[in-house]
Amino acid sequence: MGILNVTPDSFAETSSRLDPAVVIDAALRMEADGADLIDVGGESTRPGSEPVSAHDELARILPVLRGLAGRLRIPVSVDTYKADVARAALDAGAAIVNDISGLRYEASLAGVASDLGAALILTHTRGRSNKMYTEAVYDDMMGEIGAELRASIAKATAAGVPLERIIVDPGIGFAKRPAHSYGVLARLPALASVIDRPLLVGPSRKSFMRDAVGGRPPAERDWGTAAAVTAAVLAGAHIIRVHAVAEMVQVVRVAEEIRRHA
């Protein structure tokens, strides 16, 4: 899954992506580089970020979604937790809603996915972006993540989303300090054993690896990302969400072959 941020303040990129033509070209390059999915987002949800209005979020992403309609051969997901944004994005051609809140922020988003026949990615987190680290306290981390994701799944299915349209994401970096994120990567099979849904993992360029890579800024963390991606694939992840598609496609394919020969 290629990450397509339509924001002025992405943590992982060195330039603003607010020109729809630039973003559309980037999406087409990702497809050519081997992406299987494109994830379009108009609001940064990194820890500490400030929320964006639905109006501003739509102003950023709708020109991109409309410009990609009929040009991409791969599915597009919209990275949003807002029901109104999700509905407009699905009407504009998206097929998947990627909700970083796991329906904790706007439970009505599940009804939108159900009404429009969309797939739904449910991510584990706690609290809003500006306070999530205060809730990064666990007694049984994988057990708690599993239980909270099962609660998100129950909300989705109660709203009419079929189970086969649901993907789960353990939320690397979301309400998790670095040790928690490494622990999630190391113990993904424990999550797979209690949730029989495809797993999406998104470690790309995140701050949990900052110390391990010598304090390098996000745009210089692709080697560290490659290690995390390999670990995720070997542990059973089905979808990997990344910025550097061309490079990570190679990493994923080789890791898949290793897993297949295990």
What is the rounded distance in angstroms from the CA atom of residue 128 to the CA atom of residue 20?
28
Between 113 and 130, the higher pLDDT residue: 113
**Residue 208 has what pLDDT?**
97
Q: Is 187 known to be catalytic?
A: no
Is residue 78 exposed (0-12), middle (13-18) or buried (19+ Cβ within 10 Å)?
A: buried
Q: Of the residues 241, 253, 259, 260, which is catalytic?
A: 241
Domain that holds residue 255: 2-261
Interval 182-241: pLDDT, tens? 999 999 999 999 999 999 999 999 999 999 999 999 999 999 999 999 999 999 999 999
**Residue 123 has what pLDDT?**
98
Q: Which pair of tokens denotes residue 7?
A: 């924001």
Q: Is 206 known to be catalytic?
A: yes
Q: Is the pLDDT of residue 11 over 70?
A: no
Looking up residue 225, the CATH number of its domain turns out to be 3.20.20.20
Q: Of the residues 155, 206, 221, 253, which is catalytic?
A: 206
**DSSP codes of every residue in 81-135:** --HHHHHHHHHTT--EEEETTTTSS-TTHHHHHHHHT-EEEEE---S-TTTGGGG
Helical (H) or strand (E) element with 4: strand 2-5
Q: Is the pLDDT of residue 14 over 50?
A: no
Interval 39-93: pLDDT, tens? 999 998 776 678 899 999 999 999 999 999 999 999 999 999 999 999 999 999 9
**Residue 101 has what pLDDT?**
97
What is the rounded distance in angstroms from the CA atom of residue 159 to the CA atom of residue 163?
11
For 218, which DSSP code?
G
Question: Structural domain tally of the chain?
Answer: 1
Interval 139-155: pLDDT, tens? 999 999 999 999 999 99
What is the rounded distance in angstroms from the CA atom of residue 242 to the CA atom of residue 216?
17
Q: Is the pLDDT of residue 9 over 70?
A: no
